[in-house]
Structure 1
Amino acid sequence: MSPFDLLLTPTTHDLGQFEVRRVLPARARRMIGPFIFVDEFGPAQLDLGAGMDVRPHPHINLATVTWLFEGAIDHRDSIGSHATIRPGQVNLMTAGRGIVHSERSPGAERAAGPRLYGMQTWLALPDGREEIDPAFEAVTDLPIVEDSRSRATVIMGELWGERAPTTTHSHTIYAEIVLGPGGCLPIEDDADERAVMLVGGEASVDGHALELYQLAVLAPGREMTLASKDGGRIMLLGGEAFETKRHVWWNFVSSSRERIEQAKADWREQRFPLVPGDTEERIPLPEGPPKTVTYP
């Protein structure tokens, strides 16, 4: 019996010096637990002096989670947060009723030729909490579960008896798993919905091979074993199933289409706040059918 309920192949966007692979939202599946948007980018080595520049843009009714395997990204937002994201640090930005942020390669990284390799995910906020105050946190004190052949970092939620201090707005699980040759780790039946993505090397679930960058939605109600013969890096994500539908338009997520229309008007009329230290540029509201997010 296959451990997979569904296999989702990402759409790849070639941005010249690096690729972004978007696997959620998909026509066949909108969400996995609270995860409504899943991007994997890199690995990539950019040219000297080049960098990533995601200009200021808005979000509502969601939380963004940035996790890097390599490289660094400067985050700034409209509530005054400024943090440099590096491997081992999770950045959680809760948009709530509205926030604006930018993501750029730091100057030192540009001078050396930036590395880019990581994950950007969005979590829909649950009913009754979509319009909470915006917030930001950068967390480095994350629990590690390891043995001689495997190492798992619990990024959000509770896994393998360890709980991350990262804020969760609904039941959420999120982890990076690095397996050495011959390594294995149990995948517990601890969430309504679970999925894994192989982001490097090779691995299998209950003997069924994972395809690189494909999101494998796991069958509910079963404990499974994640294993690797030669070594691999895998992301595990999921959480509680949402009963209320979420709508996505550009960088906006909400249970209300009317709320998204209001956010569109607010951004068009420049009623969102500015980002301190990054006020000279902004991504304009798309005129036609938008991509879910824009990478200049």
Structure 2
Amino acid sequence: MSNTKLIIEERAANIGNFMVGRLLPFRQKRMVGPFIFIDHMGPASLSSKENLDIAMHPHIGLSTLTYLFEGAIMHRDSLGTEVEIKPGAVNWMTAGKGVVHTERTPEYLRHSKKMLHGLQIWVALPKEDEQCEPSFTHVAAAEIPTWKENNVQFKLIAGKAFGKQSPVPVYSALYFIQITSSDTKTISIGDHLFGESALYILEGSITSDGHTYGPKQILVAKDSSLCAFEIEANSTLYIFGGESFEEERFIEWNFVATDKALIEKAKEDWKADKFPKVVNETVRIPLPAPKRFGG
């Protein structure tokens, strides 16, 4: 890990009634490969009177990847999808030219104590796909490629790496890998990666070049061959990245695009209630005051 270029600390952010740790975008690093936004949700212990309730909100120009460690979320969208996601599974929603969705605590959990913990990730779409038709795919936990090497557990949540391919239908060359070890081990996997690469420590720590890095840090590499390090016992980390896009990406609120005009149109369409609706949902999150990244 001697070629670490940047260390990003997790920062608190509020998404309505729920606090998350925001990892990307960061002032000095807007994207890692096609990954443009990462939130760490929880871990949160919710009482019988507390629930996740994210009302209707829109997206364009990206795919969302939801991956839970604990708890459950009911996803509903303007495509007519209604799917509960549980730990280890993947919800992959491609917004393209525009989609609307909600994320709520499932009905059967709303009046009991529960935990919620996971990652919310946005992956920018290639320029030629950013206005594609929206779609949704749910991939069950059992379908995600999982294997062991030297008593270290690997899981390829999305993309291609290690000669394997996740069934998550990504649009560009990328990887999102979970690594878990109950023992202290030396790991060298740079030959399996490509493009830009970053490492996020969920729990435990890693050691490289005499430096120890702990939870809630992202280490961004100078190149994809970053990954030679010692993972400490009882650690879980994520390596993500891939090929970068040639064009700059702009991000404002829930919108991502190569052209600011697409974002301005999406903002006006949301204010004018022109986006598609989610069945049986009536509450819409209003467009917030401008807060720009990447432009």
Q: Same fold (TM over 0.5)?
A: yes
Q: Distance in 1 between matches of 2:155 and 2:103?
A: 24
Superposition map of 1:102-181 within 5 A: 102-140=102-140, 141-147=143-149, 149-181=151-183
Superposition map of 1:1-296 within 5 A: 2-13=2-13, 19-140=19-140, 141-147=143-149, 149-189=151-191, 190-205=193-208, 208-222=211-225, 224-277=227-280, 279-286=281-288, 288-290=289-291
Kindly tell me: are residues 60 and 178 of structure 1, through their superposed partners in 2, closer, same or farther at Cα, counting changes over 3 Å? Answer: same
- The alignment's C-alpha RMSD in Å is 2.0
Q: Distance in 1 between matches of 2:267 and 2:17?
A: 31
What does the per-residue CA deviation read over 1:182-226, in whole Å, with 9 as the maximum and x for residues that have no partner?
244433242110001101122235654223111100231526334
Contact 1:150 1:184 in 2 (8 A): no
Deviates more, 1:151-160 or 1:80-89: 151-160
Deviation at 1:154?
0.5
Q: Distance in 2 between matches of 1:263 and 1:42?
A: 30
Deviation at 1:53?
0.8
Contact 2:33 2:245 in 1 (8 A): yes
Q: Distance in 1 between matches of 2:252 and 2:15?
A: 21
How many positions carry a matched residue from both structures? 290
What letter is aligned with 2:127? D
What does the per-residue CA deviation read over 1:212-253, in whole Å, with 9 as the maximum and x for residues that have no partner?
111100231526334333211111110101110011111100
In the superposition, the TM-score normalised over structure 1's length comes to: 0.91
Q: Distance in 1 between matches of 2:212 and 2:110?
A: 37
Q: Percent identity?
A: 38
Structure 1, unpaired ranges of 5+: none
In the superposition, the TM-score normalised over structure 2's length comes to: 0.92
Contact 1:187 1:226 in 2 (8 A): no
Contact 2:4 2:226 in 1 (8 A): no
Deviation at 1:33?
0.4
SS of 1:222 mapped into structure 2: helix
Deviation at 1:157?
1.2
Deviation at 1:50?
1.4
Q: Distance in 1 between matches of 2:194 and 2:36?
A: 16
Contact 2:32 2:198 in 1 (8 A): yes
